[in-house]
Structure 1
Amino acid sequence: MNSNKDHYRAPDILALKDQASLLLENLKDLDLDDQVDACEALHSQADRLYQNLSKSLLE
């Protein structure tokens, strides 16, 4: 039986972080400050999620 931990893979989390970084760069180029702030918050959340999941999966 697969555990819930099997559903979270580090490459998926890293891809999400990479996409958020790319979006942030594009929004900065378009001078969309409110969207940049939201994207930075999302990126920070993705980083915290990655750290928490990494710890959980390594236990």
Structure 2
Amino acid sequence: AFIALPEALRVAQMWRLVAYGLLLVLIMVYRPQGLMGYREITSLFGKRRDDGRRER
């Protein structure tokens, strides 16, 4: 049991990287504009006016 478990985890670690790579490829194919689309990250937080308050 103490020998088999580290070997099983070593194989799982290798497949974790393969799965991560496949996930990145799928995102690039199906969502070429990115996960958020064409929105800017700053638009999520709202625009700030000159006095420091947010506009909504």
- TM value normalised by structure 1: 0.44
Q: Which has more helix, going by share of residues?
A: 1
Q: Which has the larger radius of gyration?
A: 2
**Relative contact order, higher structure (CA 8 A, sep 6+):** 1
- TM value normalised by structure 2: 0.46
